[in-house]
Chain A
Amino acid sequence: MKDTILEQEILLLKGLARNDRKASEEIYKQNYNLIQALVVNNNGTADDARDIFQESMVVLFEKARSGTFELNCQIKTYLYSVAKRLWLKKLQQQNRFTEEWNDSGMQVRVDDDIEVHEQKDQEFNLMHQSIQNLGEPCKSLLEAFYFKKKSMQEIAESFGYTNSENAKTQKYKCLMRLKKLFFSQYTKKEP
């Protein structure tokens, strides 16, 4: 019996790492109410719960992708521990810390993972800012090439460049600008 649960969990994590919607949905369904109860019972709203749960999902997503998820605990326990830490942090930031903490006491160590996540989260926001500040057509051009995996030929046609060489030159310039934007902030962040 225990084995099958473990197998299921491994399958779910593999799916999650692939960003497979069915797996994400399953994990979501199995764990959301628990996390919502944790947040709502400790001074939070349903919206807070949604944010905290989704951020915890992102931590799990990264964990699954890095392949370092040791199944010495269930997904549920892991998510719960992460959500608890994130919510505590948020309460402290808003000076709404409560002495009486209502929860079921499930806990595994997640401090390192959260630290890694916060660093990545900062990077994510920085990348978002940099891309937003690029302006058009750079933003769309880079998104088309790097995110939507469009070919240079397609891009030249849809953006109206006369040939793919020109589009390539433009893309290169845009990429250089993005790098500059990103690293000018990024290096400042390094202690």
Chain B
Amino acid sequence: MHEHDNILLTEAVERYISGEMTPDERLQFENLRKADSEVDQMVVTHTMFLQKMNRYNEWQKFQVSLNEIHDDLATQGKIDSPALKGKAKIAYLFNKYKRVGSIAASIAGLTALLVSAILWSVTPKTQRAQLDLLNRNIHNLANKSRQQDQEIYNLKNNQSTTSIVKPAINYSSGGTGFIIDSKGLLVTNAHVIQNAQNIAVANAAGDEYEAKVVYTDPVRDIAVLRIIDKNFKSLPPVPYGFTKKTAEMAEPLFTLGYPREDIVYNEGYLSSKTGFNGDTLSCQIEIAANRGTSGSPILNNEGDVIGILNSRQKDQEGVAFFIRSRNLYTILNEVKEKEKTDAAIQNVKLNTRSSIANLNRQQQAKKIQDYVFMVKVN
């Protein structure tokens, strides 16, 4: 009963504050306040709290509108902001036009043209059991084709604007990774960083950070990386959640990854609950997967990560597999076992609740893109 009174009282306080009371009610309520100090106290604290909530809401709306204004003005050339090139331009178009699908399709077309001229590390899909044995050979093969690609690339592109290989560092693009802990822990595919000497990750803005491998699991094809760069500042809390649930057949899914130098959005659907050759660790997804998107997050409409993209069947266009998020929990426990002395690792907890469930797809993509990184290896 006591709680019921409190609910009524809270409601009264809110109507009182917002001025919805009739003059009579108001008078009664004010008398009640005078007579009962507890009620009076409640009105004061509740008013204060509502003001704080209100201000929070106002600020949030204001900040959203500032970002929109910035992008608009920069695109119209009314301010000298260099922000809108490449990925920002794409993100802007996404927000500007609601026809995401067709844009994504045209980007995919463009990518296909670009990809042929750009080099990517690629590990052919093999049976898992043989993977370990074949590591070396695959790597050598990949290296060879990498060199050839490099030569072709150099021959073809004398006037290219996007130089993939920066001579100073000499990284080549490996794949995609995404943040699982805002202090700088990422996951990607094990095959992306296999035999890597050095690893760097670059965000959508192009900032590059040095990273090292914390853990790798070739069977599940998952690796955990940590950013060890002094320039890296912790990100705000991770927006997406990690769900242990399996996606349903035909459930719409989307991904952000780096098939090329800029981040690219793609969408598709779950086509089978099992992976290659009936593998139960993974599921099959119908999506325009490109080389370089290995390690991208696969998300559902709620903004929950349901898996990690890992491979494409060579002979079928648009068929890809992803490793289910469930495995991330298992792997994180294994990492914690291994790194007993590392307090930062011990404190890592996967976010279970997406904070972007109620946003539309454009807003979700915008929020997520800061957490998806290109993984570069050499």
Given A127-B56, A132-B355, A135-B353, A32 and B73 touching (CB < 8 A)?
yes
Is there contact, CB below 8 Å, between A127 and B52? Answer: yes
- Tell me if A172 counts as interface (CB < 8 A to partner B): yes
A136 CB within 8 Å of chain B:
yes
- Per-residue B-contact encoding for A68-100, CB less than 8 Å = 1, 0 else: 000000000000000000000000000000000
The reply to whether B59 and A124 form a contact with Cβ atoms under 8 Å apart is yes
A140 to B358, CA, bound (A): 8
B49 at the interface (CB under 8 A from A): yes
* Residue of chain A at shortest CB distance from B76: A29
> Chain B: interface residue count, which band?
35 or more
Chain A residues positioned under 8 Å from B237 (CB to CB) = 129, 132
Check B53–A127 contact: CB distance below 8 A: yes
Specify which of B56, B65, B81 lies most central, judged by the most chain A CB atoms within 10 Å of its CB.
Answer: B56
Give the chain A neighbours of B44 by CB distance below 8 A: none
Q: Please list 24 pairs of residues, one from A and one from B, whose beta carbons are closer than 8 Å in the complex, sorted by A's number.
A: A19-B58, A24-B69, A25-B72, A28-B66, A28-B69, A29-B78, A29-B79, A32-B81, A33-B80, A36-B81, A47-B205, A49-B81, A50-B83, A54-B70, A57-B62, A57-B66, A58-B66, A127-B56, A140-B357, A146-B50, A146-B53, A168-B7, A172-B6, A182-B49
Look across to chain B and name the residue whose beta carbon is closest to the beta carbon of A32. B79
Query: In whole angstroms, what is the CA distance A47 to B203 when docked?
Result: 13
B contact residues vs A (CB 8 Å cutoff): 3, 6-7, 10-11, 49-50, 52-59, 61-63, 65-67, 69-70, 72-73, 78-83, 205, 237, 353, 355, 357-358
Question: Which of the four size classes fits the interface of chain A?
Answer: 35 or more
Q: Do A46 and B82 touch across chains, with their CB atoms under 8 A apart?
A: yes
A78 to B: closest C-beta gap in Å: 17
Besides A32-B73, A32-B81, A172-B3, 5 other CB < 8 A contacts? A21-B69, A32-B70, A46-B81, A127-B53, A136-B357
Interface residues of A in 146-181 (CB under 8 A from B): 146-147, 168-169, 172, 175, 179
Residues of chain B contacted by A146 (CB below 8 angstroms): 50, 53-54, 57
Given the complex, which residues of A lie within 8 Å of B353, measured CB to CB? 135-136
Q: Which residues of B contact A123 (CB under 8 A)?
A: 52, 55-56
Closest B residue, CB atoms, query A172: B7
Provide the main secondary structure of the chain B interface.
helix
Bound CA–CA A140/B355 (angstroms) = 10
Instruction: Determine if A179 and B49 form an interchain contact, defined as CB atoms under 8 angstroms apart.
Output: yes
Q: How far is the CA of A16 from the CA of B52 in the complex (A)?
A: 19
**Cross-chain contact B57 with A147 (CB below 8 angstroms):** yes
Kindly state the separation between the CA atoms of A100 and B205 in the bound complex, as whole angstroms: 28
Residues from chain A with a CB closer than 8 A to the CB of B80 are: 32-33, 36
Partner of B62, one of A32, A36, A61, A136: A61
Which 10 pairs show the lowest CB-CB distances between chains A and B? Answer: A127-B56, A32-B79, A172-B7, A147-B57, A54-B66, A25-B69, A28-B69, A46-B82, A33-B80, A29-B78
A54 to B63, CA, bound (A): 8
Q: Which residues of B contact A179 (CB under 8 A)?
A: 49
In the bound complex, residues from chain A placing their C-beta under 8 Å from that of B79 are 28-29, 32-33, 36
CB of B10 to closest CB in A, whole Å: 6
